[in-house]
Amino acid sequence: MTVAGMRCLVTGASGFLGHRIVRLLLEEEEGLDEICLMDKTLSADLLRTREEFQGKASVKLLRGDIRDEEFLQQCCRGVDLVIHTAAIIDTVGKINKETLMAINVTGTERLLEACVRNNVRYFIYTSSVEVVGPNTRGDPITDGHEEQLYDSNLSFSYGQSKRLAEQKVLKANGRALKDGGTLVTCSLRPMYIYGEGSQFLELHLDQAILNGGVFLRQSRKEALVNPVYVGNVAWAHVQAARAMRDPDKAQEIGGNFYYISDDTPHLSYSDFNHVLGQELGLGVESRPALPYPLLYYVALLLEVLSFLAKPFVRFVPPFTRHLVVLLNTHFTFSYRKARKDLGYEPRYGWEEARRLTTAWIAEALPRRREQLNKSKRF
């Protein structure tokens, strides 16, 4: 199966993942009728991609806000497939909860309504492993799967917003469309996504530069996670879109979520950063600055200070209890179900993913050093 002859809408098309999905669709899908690229801002990289593939498929640019109902109605007219990646990602509480919920949850609701009104048949939602946890106790998971029960008592707004949005997407599966058809939905839950252009990798790189070329030790060695390469997450979306076109597969896939990982080694977050940067001479601290229990209570103190200061000044803690738990909990998942139902197989092996990411870090290093030096001078 392919998506040939379909009109596809990608939300968040300028984003780290959205842009990779757009590129893969244009590279791999012969006969794609049209691809609509929606985002609040359209990046220079996205515009270059449009020019690069000019003539292969019709590419339509749609600039607007996911919360704008009229805009969403326009975006969904004549569309067969929606790949919804647009979201605010916030790991430390910089964005207020109202804004997070309005964009991640209400925006998704309004997009689903626009799909129903405009007879969009297929809807793929980009979720996150954070919709399941880790929970506030830091209960570990090893080789997790979709049928596994876990006490996901989420305390952080980002994970809550993604879980609520995912629930609305899965509940919408089977909704009647205006033309008598039905909506088929599914959700993909990628692990921590790395690769060229990752803002999180840039943040860690800046910290390493300021720390004399050594990555900070923010996670315990034994807290293993399984990051996933951005190209493989994008490929999983393409594979899901293809599978959904098969009526029998659509029955199996509809209303379900899938964990998306690949063959990246299981390492702690800090050790993973080191693996990506070690051939460039970047090291990693041997131990955290503070023992885990003490770090957790420092985060609690910072959160209390933030709450007390709220009437007078906005203070965003540099880290939270949620982030401390996230970085220090063993949390790994399998992609077996995605392989079985979606036909997903990683497109990029670990060595290629590492090489591409390390090459991007090597290119970014001089630029980041220069920018940090400039900021010091001012």
Domain residue limits, the chain: 7-194+228-263+333-348
What distance in Å separates the CA atoms of residue 63 and residue 41, rounded to the nearest whole number? Answer: 6
Type and span of the H or E element at 352: helix 350-377
Low-confidence ranges of the chain (pLDDT < 50): none
pLDDT tens column, 195-245 = 999 999 999 999 999 999 999 999 999 999 999 999 999 999 999 999 999
What distance in Å separates the CA atoms of residue 304 and residue 285, rounded to the nearest whole number? Answer: 29
Positions annotated as catalytic residues are 158
Half-sphere exposure of 11 (CA within 13 A, CB side): 29
Ramachandran angles phi, psi of 113, nearest 5°: -65, -40
pLDDT value, residue 167: 97
pLDDT value, residue 377: 58
Closest CA to 126 of 108, 109, 102: 108
Q: How many CB atoms neighbour CB 90 within 10 A?
A: 18
Q: CA torsion 111→116→122→127, rounded to 10°?
A: 30
pLDDT tens column, 23-66 = 999 998 888 888 999 999 988 888 888 888 887 888 999 999 99
Q: How far apart are the first and last CA of the chain?
A: 56
pLDDT value, residue 2: 78
pLDDT value, residue 376: 64
pLDDT value, residue 378: 53
Helices (H), 172-291: 199-210, 230-244, 247-253, 269-277
Half-sphere exposure of 51 (CA within 13 A, CB side): 6
Q: What is the token pair recorded at 269?
A: 């977050």
Is domain 7-194+228-263+333-348 given the CATH code 3.40.50.720 in the classification?
A: yes
